Amino acid sequence: MRSLGIIGGGQLGMFICQAAKSLGIKTSIFSENQEFSAKKFCDQYFIGKFNDNEVLENFINSADYFTIETENIPYDILDKIASVKQIFPDPQIVKICQNRLKEKRFLNSLENIRTAVYFEINSFKDLEKKISLINNNGILKTSELGYDGKGQYKIVNGKIDDLKDLNLKNFILEKILDFEKEISVIVCRKNKKVEAYPVVENIHKNSILRETIYPANLSKEVSNKALKMAIQIADELDLHGILAVEMFLMKDKSIIVNELAPRPHNSGHWTLDYCEVSQFQNLINTIFLNSPKSPSPYASCKMINVIGDEFLSKEKLKKKFKFYDYFKKEIKGSRKMGHYTFKI
């Protein structure tokens, strides 16, 4: 029987396991946590630190192919797996995407692709100098390991005194953009064969995704431009796997690329219910077949994340909507506990 190893056992890992099982593929999970969302859905699991060589060796021997559900994995671990087995995507792509500075440099090196103005920050002096170059308003972020607003500091009117005690090593300062809306595109690619999911609109609150709307309310011209940019990025990376491209639509209808995620993405959860082929199934297709399949979306819809204490209303939500429980043991303020979808 064919088998897939997944590094990380959160909700993305859980959905990957379910997609794999539907195609008769066994799964194994490598998790650093004792309790994780994918635990009851995988065929076997390995628990330990990613740099635990014995656990890593056993995990490598457990599957034919490998993929990730988070980009925050030490590069040398991915490289070690890639030296003996095929991993999707290539570790070099993850290396770019797990560091905001490397990612920004890569994106700005491409023709017709631009990001927000940014600066590398390695000291408080750097911050003092650079914030004045972007009208004293910006977002200071850690270059690595930040997600859902973690490791981010909004600076307004040049007020940075509260940041003096931070160890400002390996940070990035980005200009705050006055955008019209946030959009994203998910691309699956293998052997130069590409399938892109249609553009969706994303609504964030406190830097956490709250809603995804399909289709995004855009002109055909803007939608085609976003799709073209996402495919261009996937081609430049020579992607074998799945990639989410987050973007800002500016008020002048130009598009600025925000971030890349070389894995299934929260903004693609709607595809579980309203596409013939979900993002998770297409990741499996990309790994085990020669190419991804057409997503074939069939209904306008909305996906809503259930965050923190909102999870306490899950029984009510289950009665009204298609509800997905992430099986997390503890409710925390900004933790994604599940999501639900409905037609619009």
pLDDT band at 333 (very low <50, low <70, confident <90, very high): confident
Cα–Cα distance between 243 and 301 in angstroms, integer? 22
The CATH number that applies at residue 248 is 3.30.470.20
Q: What is the mean pLDDT of the chain?
A: 95
The region of weakest confidence among 13-22, 162-171, 237-246, 325-334 is: 162-171
Nearest residue to 340 (alpha-carbon basis) of 327, 321, 313? 321
Domain endpoint, select from 299, 316, 334:
299
The CATH number that applies at residue 151 is 3.30.1490.20
Domain check: are 148 and 230 in the same one?
no
Residue 243 placed within a domain? yes
Distance of CA 154 to the CA centre of its chain: 22
How many distinct structural domains can be found in the chain?
3
pLDDT at 162: 86
Domain check: are 194 and 270 in the same one?
yes
- Mean pLDDT in residue range 172-201: 97
Residue 45 placed within a domain? yes
- Mean pLDDT in residue range 227-252: 98
Sign of CA dihedral 255, 261, 266, 269: positive
pLDDT at 10: 97
pLDDT at 148: 62
Domain check: are 194 and 274 in the same one?
yes
Domain check: are 183 and 295 in the same one?
yes
Report strand pairing: 241-250 vs 322-325.
unpaired
Cα–Cα distance between 96 and 113 in angstroms, integer? 16
Nearest residue to 273 (alpha-carbon basis) of 305, 242, 295, 306? 295
pLDDT at 146: 65
- 204-238 pLDDT, tens digit each: 998 899 999 999 999 999 999 999 999 999 999 99
pLDDT of 145 over the 80 cut:
no
pLDDT at 75: 94
pLDDT at 322: 96
Residue 313 placed within a domain? no
pLDDT at 149: 61
Domain endpoint, select from 157, 175, 193:
175
Which domain range does residue 191 map to? 179-299
Residue 112 placed within a domain? no
pLDDT of 339 over the 90 cut:
yes
Domain check: are 184 and 171 in the same one?
no
- Mean pLDDT in residue range 134-151: 83
Cα–Cα distance between 86 and 79 in angstroms, integer? 10
pTM: 0.95
Q: How many CB atoms lie within 10 A of CB 241?
A: 26
